[in-house]
Structure 1
Amino acid sequence: MSKIWQSSAGFSFFTLISRIFGYLRDLVLTSLLGASSAHDIFVVIFRIPNVFRSFFGEGALAQSLVPSIIEAKENLNSFLNQVFTLLFVTLLSFVMIAELFPGLFISIFAPGFFVDPEKYQSASDFLRLVFPYILLISFTAFFGAIQNSKKIFQIIAATPIIFNITLICFALFSNEFDLQILGIAILIAGLIQLGINFIVVIYFNYFPKLVLNFDKEILKSFFNKLIPAFFAAGIYQLNVLVDTIFASFLVTGSPTWLYLSERLIQFPLGLFGVAVALVALPNMTELFLEKKMEELTLQSKKLLKVLFFLGLLCVIGAFLFGELAIKLLFLRGEFTSFDVGMTFLALQGYAFSMLFILPQKFFNSIFFAISKANMVVVTGLVSLISNIIFNYFFIYQLDYGHFGLALATSISSGIIFIVSYIWLRKQGILKLI
């Protein structure tokens, strides 16, 4: 248990530094762009590669690769090369489709942009520019998962700091900052992140190679975990993306207000929830494989209580200090007092999700550790469907605007928390009290 918290502390420290630079990045961008059409385009379009990154990158690969790497000790390099090849072909295909048919992605992820031809054209150009980022960040995550399997967490946690610093530098030192310069900065930052983590895995005697021969047996266990991992890693991003799609039909500024409030929510999520879930996964997997179920249950109970308590503190903090935080971070330049109020309104809607998302990240790690990844699919689908239903209800029936979109995310997060907890309690693994 102490090892989990020690590793989590190291991961959380670098995540904290990254979040600080992330808020500095948002401060600079909102100061230069405000809640404008250009910033809305950045928020909505950059969400698209981020969703693919969640599926093929950070979360999905970490949660499916780490247990598979631990299991595939003898054929490790062969297994990794096969995964690397499949990942490369899949991601390259998506990039080519996006470059040739950007309107296809915009029609899915931001249909409201079609109403404004100028906004649609700018969004298409920006999408073409930044979409290759999914290749860079997904392979960075692939190399990070290899590090995680070795219980090395700090380097991949520190990597996003480079991304944020790069964007800040481009924004501050460019004579005329616009979407094109922002897109170039994103690609350069992605290349630097990839390079650093590539060097690290070489140290572990792994050099990625494209292969043509695939071993079905060696990949079977991985894919059994990967498909559920898509839901585990991407369901929150999917729910936020659904909010963004609905927001594209609302007044200008709505995507920006939702984005900034969601960024504040991501702070404790990355600092505590992701850190504990990521660090706990290899430990939980080893306990399950060694059939130490009593110790697995004991650790799970302790971690859940701490995460739930942290989530409660985060909710209280969001309501008490959220507006002040938004003013301190973003009230300058083109970002007005009205934008502060609208962002705080969205934050109030999102706030309750922290009570559920923090422990839900850990729940997903337990599901993977005990080979019950199908539960992630079930809870993911329930969350997505409920979020869409509540979004529609709050927008078109109650006219709650962007606040309704944020509130729907909190409600759907609460639903899957309840479903997951009840199932784990019935299995005798978890009891909150």
Structure 2
Amino acid sequence: MSRGGLLRSTAVFSAMTFLSRIAGLARDLLQASLFGTGAAVSAFVVAYRIPNYLRRIFAEGSFSSAFVPVLSELHQRGDREALQDFLDHIAGALLATVAVITGLGMLFAPWIARLFLLFAGKDSEQVALTADMLRITFPYLAFISMTALAGAILNSVRRFGLPAFTPVLHNLAVIAAMLGLARYFEVPEYALAWGVFLAGLAQWALLWPALGRLGLRPRLKVNFRHEGVRRVFGLMLPTIFSSSVSQLNLLVGTMFASMLVSNAQAWLYYSDRLVEFPLGLFGVAIGTVILPHLSRRHAATDAAGYSHALDWGLRLVALVSIPAALGLALMAEPLCATLFQYGEFTADDTRMVAIAVVAMSVGVPAFMLSKVLLPAFYARQDTRTPMRAAVITVFANILLTAALVLALRAAGVVAPHGGIALATALAGVLNAALLWRYLIRQGAYRAEKGWLRLFGQILLGSLLMVAAVAYARLQLGDWAGLGAWYLRLGWLLLVVGAGALAYGLGLLIAGVRPRHLREA
């Protein structure tokens, strides 16, 4: 696939992801207004994050990163019978594995809840609520793992649109559960957990039949000694840390947040949701599209094509991630006030979430870079090197989180949860730096000419963007005081649009043209 083809595929993926993110913002807005940031919402956050972390291992994270290169290699050989046999056995092995883990998760839910709420009181209501919700959310892991398998197969044959659309169903299912089920529970927040369960089921029901239409639907066969299964699981094990390092860092933050006020879990959740918007829209899109391409280049022993494609991905990330980080930091409070500050979500909640967003925005460029750097290793079936980076990063995050939270609490700072967000961001920077350094040392990537010029172009565009956004913020003043939600939203879109226009104008003045996005 040419870099023009990569750009088109990334655009398709980003467009579908944009729909998902809009639906996700609608879901978060409804959740914030109905339930606020109380103990039950924080319990749901923990109950959702645990199977969601495992999803990163058995779905689009570790499993997909190990599965796609092996699948691409079989595609390259052109042996349809061997390909189908591989799909049959890997699907059976994956389902058997996640079914066992799901059962154990439901059985040991009280102990898991206590582990991740380590610093909460022994009789904490939040621990009991989390355990109950875990029993509801854990089956999501089985559904979403099979969905991710189907999505990876579709992506390998360049069908990016439908897999990218499935998260829309996730958000719609949770919205439907909030609106339709909350009234029937004594604790209405249980509807959120059931929404996650239904979301997994809906996504699987959409993608699995699509494989049948392509003649690629697996017939489940369980044999862990099958050569392809052993190979994928062998590649997968070292990636458990590396492909889910950001989720691991969030879980570390979840544990430390349990020593703070009960709302801290929810504040960090909403801040993470805002940061995930640009990551999902651009970082995940580029990484997902580039992995099959890099795998094919490696399988064809095309080292130059591999390096060219990686350089393209890194340049595109640089163009997008730097203004995204600046924009999030500048617009953190307006974003929170516009999207969340209704009903049960208070002005104080807005301030607390905005603090975490500003702290987390420091790591946005690094988070996006990691989404492209990791596939560069996985395409070469090198899973051990990123694992080393991940282990270092997680330990650094634990130390940073402990140091910052304890120091901020001792100093009497009103928002010590901001230290958790900042530690996560700094750990992300460390992870990206290590991955980049390892690629350079291995000789797998050589930066092409023009990077200094590119940074100068981004700098000019960013300065114009910051000036435009800062001027608009000064003129508008208190965002929550703008009145009705549609006024806030209108002004938000206007200011964000002005910032994007100023950034684009800066790039044009500096010499960036659309064709440069298609060329290394």
- The code of the aligned residue for 2:65 comes to Q
Structure-1 residue corresponding to 2:431:
416
CA contact (8 A) 2:90 2:228 kept: no
Within the alignment, does 1:163 sit opposite 2:170 as a pair? yes
Q: Structure 1, residues 51-89: CA drift from partner, whole Å, max 9, x if none?
A: 011111122232111111122343122212222222222
- Percentage identity across aligned positions? 30
Instruction: Give the deviation of 1:251 after TM superposition.
Output: 0.7
TM-score (normalised: structure 2): 0.80
Distance 1:213 1:370, change over 3 A: closer
Instruction: Give the deviation of 1:202 after TM superposition.
Output: 1.1
Aligned counterparts of 1:170 and 1:409: Cα–Cα separation in 2: 31
Aligned counterparts of 1:213 and 1:313: Cα–Cα separation in 2: 48
* Long gaps (5+) in structure 1: none
CA contact (8 A) 1:62 1:142 kept: yes
Within the alignment, does 1:107 sit opposite 2:133 as a pair? no
Aligned counterparts of 1:212 and 1:255: Cα–Cα separation in 2: 39
- The code of the aligned residue for 1:69 comes to L
Within-5 A mapping of 1:44-193: 44-73=46-75, 74=79, 75-174=82-181, 175-176=183-184, 178-193=188-203
Distance 1:350 1:171, change over 3 A: same
CA contact (8 A) 1:61 1:145 kept: no
Within the alignment, does 1:271 sit opposite 2:281 as a pair? yes
Within the alignment, does 1:313 sit opposite 2:323 as a pair? yes
Q: Structure 1, residues 363-416: CA drift from partner, whole Å, max 9, x if none?
A: 111111223222110111111111111011111234361111011111111112
Distance 1:152 1:228, change over 3 A: farther
CA contact (8 A) 2:42 2:126 kept: no
- The code of the aligned residue for 2:420 comes to L
Structure-1 residue corresponding to 2:364:
354
CA contact (8 A) 1:304 1:359 kept: yes
TM-score (normalised: structure 1): 0.95
Structure-2 residue corresponding to 1:203:
213
Q: Larger radius of gyration, structure 1 or 2?
A: 2
CA contact (8 A) 1:55 1:230 kept: yes
RCO comparison, higher one (Cα < 8 Å, 6+): 1
Aligned counterparts of 2:326 and 2:54: Cα–Cα separation in 1: 32
CA contact (8 A) 2:321 2:368 kept: yes
Within-5 A mapping of 1:13-28: 13-28=15-30
- Please tell me the root mean square deviation across aligned C-alpha atoms, in Å: 1.7
Aligned counterparts of 2:111 and 2:194: Cα–Cα separation in 1: 22
Distance 1:188 1:150, change over 3 A: same
Instruction: Give the deviation of 1:425 after TM superposition.
Output: 2.3
Q: Which deviates the most, 21-30 or 214-223?
A: 214-223
Q: Which deviates the most, 8-17 or 214-223?
A: 214-223
- The code of the aligned residue for 1:191 comes to L
Q: Secondary structure at the match of 2:119?
A: helix
Q: Structure 1, residues 216-250: CA drift from partner, whole Å, max 9, x if none?
A: 43334323421233233311111111111111221
Structure-1 residue corresponding to 2:506:
none
Q: Which deviates the most, 52-61 or 269-278?
A: 52-61
Distance 1:305 1:37, change over 3 A: same
Distance 1:106 1:430, change over 3 A: farther
Within the alignment, does 1:331 sit opposite 2:341 as a pair? yes
CA contact (8 A) 2:397 2:424 kept: yes
* Long gaps (5+) in structure 2: 453-520
Q: Structure 1, residues 175-228: CA drift from partner, whole Å, max 9, x if none?
A: 356133332222222211111101111112233333244554333432342123
Q: Secondary structure at the match of 1:111?
A: coil
- The code of the aligned residue for 1:13 comes to A
CA contact (8 A) 2:89 2:226 kept: no
CA contact (8 A) 1:126 1:179 kept: no
Distance 1:216 1:390, change over 3 A: same
Match of 1:292 among 271, 295, 302: 302
- The code of the aligned residue for 1:36 comes to G
- The code of the aligned residue for 1:429 comes to Y
Aligned counterparts of 2:48 and 2:128: Cα–Cα separation in 1: 15
Aligned counterparts of 2:223 and 2:314: Cα–Cα separation in 1: 43
Structure-2 residue corresponding to 1:377:
387
CA contact (8 A) 1:88 1:135 kept: yes
Aligned residue pair count? 433
- The code of the aligned residue for 2:434 comes to V
Q: Which deviates the most, 197-206 or 322-331?
A: 197-206
CA contact (8 A) 2:174 2:198 kept: no
